[in-house]
Amino acid sequence: MTVESRGTVQVVRCSGSIDADTVSAFKKRMLEIIAQGSAHLVMDFSTLHFIDSMGLGTLISLLRTVRGKNGDIKIASMSDDVKMIFQITRLDRLFDVAPDATGACEKFAR
Amino acid sequence: MSAVTFTTELIISSDTRYLSFLRQWVGAAIVVSGSAHVFSAVKAKMSLALIEAVDNAIYHGNRGKRHLPIVIRLLIRKNLMRMVIVDCGSGMKKRSRDLPTPLATHGRGMFLIDHFMTSVYSCVKNKRHLLTLTYKP
């Protein structure tokens, strides 16, 4: 996972998978980022190949946390497989989804 | 290789470090069975269904006890793919097949399994819980 600051937005690029094996480390790192005052987050999923229901649950938990701080999580660059999972679980309606990280960052400026 | 009946079996401990390997295992089995032309398009769905089932086996069936085994059988036949996941639990409670509310953080695993598979069957035999997932294109 890498984090890049673009103004007030933190772009978090996730690689590999977010599953039962990796989700604890993922959540811990994300909570550290949020604790540093970042509530405007873009998850760049361009190199994320797999996410399971535990990963989805953690994303929702993080979304609840940042929305409680008047922030948001926007999701960018989903692969077809990851997009399919978001569509089936209808999380593409809960999360604001953008084609790429730049477009997701621009959504915060509107 | 012609696709008649291909079977393979794995026994793992209740350890999430196997999950990445299991996804590769499903993909490799589809290729080796000679059924790639039938099942490649659904490889991601089959892999996710298996991972969700193994997550359930680790955390619910075997209650996170790492030393307890999970047996995974994979059968591929012409126009049929079946995965059987065996854990040491007492089976599953009657469950809702509905999608949980949008902000719920749990409850999507079995929903995804039900969505991807043609049939899902749960039973207990010889003090082992068997979850049988069948997909027919």
pLDDT of B133 reads 97
Do the Cβ atoms of A85 and B20 come within 8 Å?
no
The predicted model scores a pTM of 0.93
Q: A99 CB contacts (<8 Å, ≥6 apart)?
A: A76, A77
pLDDT of B78 reads 86
Is the CB of residue B5 less than 8 Å from the CB of residue B29?
no
> Which residues of chain A make contact with B62, given a CB cutoff of 8 A?
none
Question: Residue written as tokens 């794995």?
Answer: B10
Q: Are strands A40-51 and A72-76 parallel, antiparallel or unpaired?
A: parallel
Do the Cβ atoms of A53 and B112 come within 8 Å?
yes
> Which residues of chain A make contact with B105, given a CB cutoff of 8 A?
57-58, 60-61
Q: Of A74, A49, A104, give the one whose Cα is nearest residue B43.
A: A49
Alpha helices in chain B (DSSP H): 19-32, 36-39, 43-56, 109-116
pLDDT of A42 reads 98
> Which residues of chain A make contact with B48, given a CB cutoff of 8 A?
50, 52, 85
Size of interface A-B (CB pairs under 8 A): 67
For chain A, give the percent of residues with pLDDT over 90: 96
Task: Over range B33-39, report the average pLDDT.
Answer: 89
> Which residues of chain A make contact with B17, given a CB cutoff of 8 A?
21
Q: Say which of A61, A64, A89 has its CB closest to residue B99.
A: A89
- d(CA B22, nearest CA chain A) in Å: 12
User: A32-51: per-residue pLDDT in tens?
Assistant: 999 999 999 999 999 999 99
CA of B42: which chain A residue's CA is closest? A81
> Which residues of chain B make contact with A89, given a CB cutoff of 8 A?
99, 108, 111-112
Q: Does B114 touch chain A (CB under 8 A)?
A: no
Asked if pLDDT for residue B1 goes beyond 50, the answer is no
Which tokens is B30 given? 């589809």
Q: Residue B103: in which H helix or E strand, if any?
A: none
Q: pLDDT-derived band of residue A109, with 50, 70 and 90 as boundaries? A: confident
Do the Cβ atoms of B112 and A54 come within 8 Å?
no
Task: Over range A14-40, report the average pLDDT.
Answer: 96
Q: What is the ipTM of this complex?
A: 0.92
User: A46-71: per-residue pLDDT in tens?
Assistant: 999 999 999 999 999 999 999 999 99
As a whole number, the mean pLDDT across chain B is: 92
User: B71-97: per-residue pLDDT in tens?
Assistant: 999 999 988 999 999 999 988 776 667
Task: Over range B101-112, report the average pLDDT.
Answer: 93
pLDDT of B95 reads 66
pLDDT of B59 reads 95
Q: Say which of A20, A81, A94 has its CB closest to residue B19.
A: A20
As a whole number, the mean pLDDT across chain A is: 96
